[in-house]
Structure 1
Amino acid sequence: MRMVFGTGRMAYWAASLTVIASIMGMGAHAQEQRWVQIEAQRDLDGALERAAQIDQQLGNVSGFRLPSDWYAISVGPFDSEADAFNVRRQLRAEGAIPADAFVSNGSDYLEQIFPTSGAVMTPAPTVPEEVAPPEAQEEQLTVLEPEPELTPEPEPEETLREAQAAERALDRDARADIQVALQWFGFYNLGIDAAFGPGTRRAMTAWQEDRGYEQTGVLTTRQRAELLESHQSELAALGMETWRDEEAGISIDLPLAMISFDRRETPFVHFEENDESGVQVLLISQSGTQATLFGLYEIMQTLEIVPLEGMRERQQNSFVLTGQNDDLRSHSFAQYRNGEVKGFTLIWTPERDGQMQRVLPMMESSFSTFSGSLPASAGQPSTVQRTALLSGLSVRRPEFSRSGFYIDATGTVLTSASAVANCGRITIDEAYNARVVARDEELGIAVLQPETPLVPMAFAQFHDRETPLGSEVTIAGFSFEDVMARPVLTFGRIEAMQGLNGETETMMLSAEIRQGDLGGPVFGTNGAVIGLLQGQPQDDARQLPSDVNFAVNAAVIQEFLRASNISSGTLRDDVIVGPEMLTRMAGDLTVLVSCWN
């Protein structure tokens, strides 16, 4: 079969060859080209959407598949590395690209996925105007199909000697970058010193084993590029950027691809999750004292975002709270310095454990403070209502709460037996787990021991001598259970030194009390504790007046404590505590006892 071409057709193929030659020349030049890689996306649809958005803002955007099956979104190409760095510097200065955008030589860019149109199309050959001879018209014309491009064979991997030679050519920054990347993926846990010692060699070997490469302990040029590209891709996916909050007085690196600023409500700056990422952040900022820090420590443990299981560590001027359950994880840190309490909370869902193990150290190392804090709220955590402090956060609530009081310097608490009956978990001030170490059901009293020793600011001093009838008494208790963070004082007087049926272990009071007050201390006029509030006896057939209540007297309490080998103190007869001191002391030694199920 003959192939017939007219003059026009010959011209067309000549032009095509010229174009092909030109393209081949461009390909050789493209080996020197550079791109500014802005970010990487995990899935193709997301990459195409982001590339289109960035292209509208910046133009000249390209997208490529990476060996890790992520997708790079880049600006370029540029004819030289210097041009690429200049563009990167300018775009970063304008805030148009993230701080971790980097210059890539495109060595790991596979097929291009963006733009999806706009490629130069070769025009179809046209039939020449001259008329072919009749016999030629009867011939079947055959058109040459372009030969398919051959995929070049990948370059062979470097030998160990070649990899060692390439490694020796690395500068200090390049070596440090490799250690940082190995540390990011959990293979390296030593300091970043840019020295490839035994620890770094072990990390490289572990990375090679994880990726299925020969375990030489020396990364080839291609392996280094893969490691660093994977690291940059993860950083881009997290969007780690420095957030400087002038109102809160805090600077910290945050994963801003996963969260976005929502609102400020003292003492928190709220960052909510992006696209169901499962990640949230709170920045903590308020003016106050050490007591403010301690109050925040106690109340934050009642938040849903701080699961019950986890570490609780409070020091003199800082605290750390961690929590985890099947649905949630959190890490909180706060410190008191120069009249301000500042810190942060990172919250995430379990599927983000791996990423957050890398994000949390970056947040911790970057956290810094400067002058200024969020505007003061209605009061401090030790005095305001819980709702004023928590700024709309969900609060975990106990089944019920009663009162109790410290009886020694290690945090032992005396309370009513009914306050701890049938409880799966018992807490003191909703922050400290406690267990029952002694109980007397007939007297209706119980002793609690905190799981970790506490140092209360005050503890009860008993007075076991008989108090005159008609004497005024002060009752301290959490009348409204867990709604308020400080106890309420209720005033009354002694009506009788025995119960309705002559019980000598109790005394009858005239005082209006609430359920939350039960278990609280009853103070005499000298400031000593003369009893523990019991309330009214259970009697379905009779209803006593609301102001008739009873308390276990101090002499019986002390006898019970001695029999249980529990120490307690007695107020000297010559000591008188004034009303102002009594108010302060009652607030310091009275605690909230909560029952959880």
Structure 2
Amino acid sequence: MLRRTVAGLALWVAMAGALAAQDGQVWVQVEALPTIDRARLSAEGYSEQLPDVAGYYIGSGWYAVALGPYTPEEGEAVLENLKAEGLIPGDSTLADGSQFQQQFWPANAPSTGVAASSDNAEAQDPAALPAAPTAPVAIPEESFAEAQASEAALSRGEKEQLQAALQWAGVYQGGIDGAFGSGTRAAMSAWQSQNGHQPTGVLDSRQRAELLGAYNAILDDMGLETVRDETAGIEIELPMALLGAPMTEAPFVRYAATDGSPAQVVLISQPGDQSRLAGLYEIMQTLEVVPEEGPRERTDEAFMIEGQDTSIHSTTYAWLVDGQIKGFTLVWPAGDEDRRARLVDTMRASFRRLPGVLDPAAGDPGEDQAADLVSGLQVRQPQRTATGFYVDAQGTVVTTADAVGQCSEITLDEATPARVLGTDPALNLAVLQPQSALAPRVVAGFRATIPRIGTEVAVAGYPYGGALALPALTFGTLADVRGLNGEEAVRRLDLSAQAGDAGGPVLDESGAVIGMLLPRGTGAQVLPDDVSYALDAQTIQAELAQAGITGSVSEDTASLGAEKLTRDVAGLTVLVSCW
């Protein structure tokens, strides 16, 4: 059948329900959940978009959320259309209602009218169903067949959590994949034997509760609650005893810790496709809450990022389904690995996609917004920045040795990784080689002759780090062709430069490079504010030659004018970041 709009589908579903015959009727079973609290929340969520939502106790401590009733033909059509529209899970099925017992949704529902076995006392006795959402649910005993049925209703995340619990219990060594193969079955049998149960290889509902209860005991003081964010379209268990009120700024909903610790949770919700998922994957890795060290995986439909440093350990999952990207990040203090790993498992197992996604314009950034924030999250900042400039067509860069000392990573213009090709600490000169191909628009042309004292000069640099997209020009004059102590390799400038300008090219009026600006302080010597030093062009060229690089020489002497000079230095000058 043709795809319909949500409103059109809802109307059509209602009509199908009205036409359903009582004989041979079927239901679309959307979910089966192990607690009445979660089942009520699920039914409430579906009822906001679809009619004929009902909830039934189905025995063995499980609760079904269903749509209907319909005739078999209508039920099949409703199932396929709602799955195609992404309004119900892809594993939704048709049910004949034989397992439906006491109806718990809607709350004021009359007798269900669903046939139940006359010898099923639990189905006939409404007292068997917990009346209050907060009341603990007693888990009945199950036969082997009932245990198999209740296990089959588990989500993949819940199955993965069981495998993680078996691994924690020391009986399972396999992968956490949600697939119950021979290894998982053997682990279940071993756990049953160790805990006084018959080793059937299938855990019943009581045994699963026992195993998970012991596994999750470490989380008891966290106040785990099922949080249902209708705006973001996400349901998930969160440690709300530790977290404050949510702050929404698309595509994130952020929960910060209330005790001042670095712990926080970020829910991810945005419309998108494979390209936007890939973009989000890159953006997440620029954030402070995602340290650089750690495994990363990405496919066309999902990604996982783990990051760890001395302060925090974070884990991010995101999935693309039906044009919507949803996921979460858990940020946790480093050194508390047991609770962190357990909490990640719980969050992933409980993660549910609800209808809806954050509006890209959602949230009010207010006065706290800044250029170094992404939707309220701090972008990772380098240890320091400096300036450099291109000296050949392959993108080789020169800068100061101070700029790249003790860096775990060096980037050019915040995007291209680079390595140190050579360095001379005595001259405070470093030569950098990009680790991916670059094609500079402008390459330095070194002045062939010594400039005349009094020549007007300009320094191009990034005095404010990456805050400005283009380099700034600072103008001055050549005060001397030597240093104050007669140093031959430097030029003295009458020019007030800032720290971030160090490493930038010093140019004459023709745009020829006469030197590289040096940092203002060298050891115990600090120059006056209006005095700067530049390493001269000839010394730079000699160092490049030792590294196997031939610098270009400029023969032009005509003045470029301020406008063209400004345009040229934008292609010549590079922001060097030390991470």
| TM-score (ref. length: structure 2) | 0.55
Report the equivalent of 2:162.
182
Answer yes or no: is the 8 Å Cα contact 1:266–1:389 preserved in 2: no
Question: Where do 1:558-573 residues align within 5 Å?
Answer: 558-565=541-548, 567=549, 570=552
1:515 Cα offset (Å): 2.0
Pair 1:352 & 2:323 matched: no
| Aligned-partner Cα distance in 2 for 1:446–1:182 | 55
Please give the secondary structure, in 1, of the residue aligned with 2:403. helix
Distance, in Å, in 2 between the alignment partners of 1:584 and 1:318 is 38
Q: Which residue of 2 aligns with 1:372?
A: 360
Structure 1 residues 436 and 515: alpha-carbon distance in aligned structure 2, compared to 1, 3 A threshold: same
Cα offset, 1:184, TM superposition: 5.4
Q: Is this contact kept in 1: 2:446–2:512, CA < 8 A? A: no
1:513 CA displacement: 0.2
Does the 8 A contact of 2:312 with 2:332 survive in 1? yes
Q: Equivalents in 1 of 2:421, 2:577: separation in Å?
A: 18
- State the one-letter code of the partner of 1:404: G
Question: How far apart are residue 519 of structure 1 and its match?
Answer: 1.8
Instruction: Give the equivalent residue in structure 1 for 2:531.
Output: 548
Q: Find the aligned partners of 2:357 and 2:318 in 1 and give their Cα distance.
A: 11
Q: CA deviation at 1:446?
A: 1.9
In the TM superposition, 1:266-277 aligns within 5 A as 269-273=253-257
Q: Report the counterpart of residue 511 of structure 1 in structure 2.
A: 495
**Mapping for residues 160-559 of structure 1, pairs under 5 Å:** 163=144, 172-173=152-153, 179=159, 181-183=161-163, 185=165, 189=175, 197-205=181-189, 207-208=191-192, 211=195, 217-219=201-203, 223=207, 226=210, 238-245=224-231, 250-258=232-240, 259-264=243-248, 269-273=253-257, 279-283=263-267, 300=287, 303=288, 305-307=289-291, 309-310=293-294, 322-331=306-315, 345-349=329-333, 350=336, 351-359=338-346, 361=348, 366=353, 371-374=359-362, 385-386=371-372, 391=376, 398=383, 401-405=385-389, 413-420=397-404, 423=406, 427-428=410-411, 436-448=420-432, 453-454=435-436, 458=440, 461-466=443-448, 469=452, 473-480=457-464, 484=467, 486=469, 488-493=471-476, 495=478, 498-500=481-483, 505-523=489-507, 530-536=514-520, 538=522, 546-559=529-542
* Amino acid across the alignment from 1:498: V
> Displacement, 1:319?
9.1
Residues 1:253 and 1:538: Cα distance change in structure 2 (over 3 Å): same
Unpaired runs of at least 5, structure 1: 1-34, 40-65, 67-79, 91-96, 109-157
Distance in 1 of aligned mates of 2:433 and 2:524: 34
Change (3 A) 1:510 1:445: same
Q: Is the 8 A contact 1:405 1:520 kept in 2?
A: yes
Instruction: Tell me whether 1:585 sits opposite 2:568 in the alignment.
Output: no
Map 1:97-112; keep pairs closer than 5 Å.
104-107=137-140
State the Cα deviation string for residues 267-325 of structure 1 (Å, max 9, x = none).
864312368997412357899x999979966862xx3x444643579999999764324
Q: 1:535 to 1:169 in 2, by over 3 A?
A: closer
Largest Rg, 1 or 2: 1
Give SS of 2:497's match. Answer: coil
Residue 104 of structure 2: aligned partner = 85
Q: CA deviation at 1:206?
A: 5.8
Deviations 1:126-149 (A, max 9, x none): xxxxxxxxxxxxxxxxxxxxxxxx
AA aligned to 2:530 is: D
What amino acid does structure 2 have at the position aligned with 1:85?
A: F
Q: Is the 8 A contact 1:88 1:101 kept in 2?
A: no
Alignment partner, residue 78 of structure 2: none
Q: TM-score, normalised by structure 1?
A: 0.53
Q: Secondary structure at the match of 2:201?
A: coil
Contact 1:490 1:511 in 2 (8 A): no
**Pair 410,345 (structure 1): closer, same or farther in 2 beyond 3 Å:** farther
* Native 8 Å contact 2:482 2:490 kept in 1: yes
Deviation of the 1:251 alpha carbon? 3.8
1:316-346 CA-to-partner distances (Å, cap 9, x unmatched) read 999976432454212357999xxx9998642
Measured at CA, do residues 413 and 335 of structure 1 come closer, stay the same or move farther in structure 2, by a change above 3 Å? farther
What amino acid maps onto 1:107 in structure 2? P
Specify the SS of the correspondent of 1:552: strand
| 1:82-134 alpha-carbon deviations (Å, 9 max, x no partner) | 336346798xxxxxx9xx999945438xxxxxxxxxxxxxxxxxxxxxxxxxx
Report the Cα distance in structure 2 between the residues aligned to 1:389 and 1:329, rounded to whole angstroms: 20
Whether contact under 8 Å (1:264, 1:270) holds in the other structure is: yes
Q: How far did 1:533 drift? A: 0.9
Cα distance between partner residues in 1 of 2:254 and 2:388: 35
2:153 is paired with a residue whose SS is helix
Instruction: Tell me, in whole angstroms, the C-alpha distance in 1 between the residues paired with 2:209 and 2:325.
Output: 43
Q: Where does structure 2 lack aligned partners over 5 or more consecutive residues?
A: 1-33, 39-60, 62-98, 110-129
Q: Which amino acid in the other structure matches residue 361 of structure 2?
A: S
Once the two structures are TM-superposed, the CA of residue 489 in structure 1 deviates from its matched residue by 0.8
1:109-128, aligned counterparts within 5 Å? Answer: none
Report the CA distance between 1:560 and its aligned residue.
1.2
Change (3 A) 1:88 1:333: same
CA displacement, residues 148-191 of structure 1 (integer Å, 9 cap, x when unaligned): xxxxxxxxxx9xxx84x665666843697973552453557466
CA drift of 1:404 comes to 3.4
Change (3 A) 1:550 1:579: same
